[in-house]
């Protein structure tokens, strides 16, 4: 799955929001907390709503990045079943930033179309929130 976003912020600020987990939490629409477990490893606390019913869960995440290339890679394993890899490629566009994102899902669960919709909506809100800060 490929997504693209434009943020009216400079590339260094956007990169910082994607790599500093406390800043990331402050703009993410469904993540409430991130605990650091080691150098590049974290536990994410997330709450999704299914209708009016909230569903909270945690999962491990690894974050890698290249400052010089402005690439951020986030790998997550949710419920020990769904493996998700998100790659964010940032490019400067004058004082704006273009984010091209690739999301790869590997799961035996039949809910791939739901996962794609959820990620599309969440990441659209994520980058709107970065843009608003």
- The pLDDT of residue 81: 82
**In this structure, what DSSP letter does residue 80 have?**
T
pTM for this prediction: 0.92
Q: What is the pLDDT of residues 62-117, one digit of tens each?
A: 999 999 999 999 999 998 888 999 999 999 999 999 999 999 998 876 667 778 88
**In this structure, what DSSP letter does residue 103 have?**
E
Q: What does the mean pLDDT of the chain come to? A: 94
- The pLDDT of residue 107: 81
pLDDT interval class at 13 (50, 70, 90): very high
Q: What is residue 112's three-state secondary structure?
A: helix
44 pLDDT above the threshold of 80: yes
Q: Which CATH superfamily is domain 2-132 in?
A: START domain (3.30.530.20)
């Amino acid at each position: 799955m490929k997504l693209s976003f434009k943020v009216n912020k400079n590339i260094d600020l956007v990169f910082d929001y994607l790599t500093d987990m406390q800043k990331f939490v402050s703009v993410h629409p469904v993540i409430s907390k991130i605990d650091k477990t080691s150098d590049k490893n974290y536990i994410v606390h997330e709450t999704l709503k299914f209708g009016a019913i909230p569903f909270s869960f945690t999962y491990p995440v690894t974050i890698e990045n290249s400052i010089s290339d402005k690439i951020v890679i986030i790998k997550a394993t949710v419920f020990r079943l769904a493996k998700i890899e998100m790659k964010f490629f940032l490019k400067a566009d004058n004082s704006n930033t273009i984010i091209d994102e690739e999301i790869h899902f590997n799961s035996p669960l039949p809910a791939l179309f739901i996962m794609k919709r959820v990620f599309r909506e969440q990441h659209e809100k994520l980058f709107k929130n970065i843009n608003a800060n």
